[in-house]
Amino acid sequence: MTDGSRAGSRKGLTVKSLDLLIAAYALIHAVPILTVDRDFQLIACSGAGLHLVDV
């Protein structure tokens, strides 16, 4: 389990590992994610600074 998913699980949030990898890539490269996936919404609401574009 990665540190990000462990931290989220302490708050009762769980997301898929692949979603965490995609989110990390988007954060590092400062690109938004176009999604309707709830996992990305959870990551964005966690204060990570992830920018989402809703469909």
Averaged pLDDT, 9-29:
85
Per-residue pLDDT at 1 exceeds 50: no
Averaged pLDDT, 8-19:
74
Between 31 and 14, where is the model more confident? 31
- Give the rounded percent of residues in the chain with a pLDDT score beyond 70: 78
Closest CA to 41 of 8, 1, 3: 8
With bands split at pLDDT 50, 70 and 90, how would you rate the model's confidence at 50? very high
Say how far apart CA 3 and CA 54 lie, in whole Å. 27
Rounded to the nearest integer, the mean pLDDT of the chain is 83
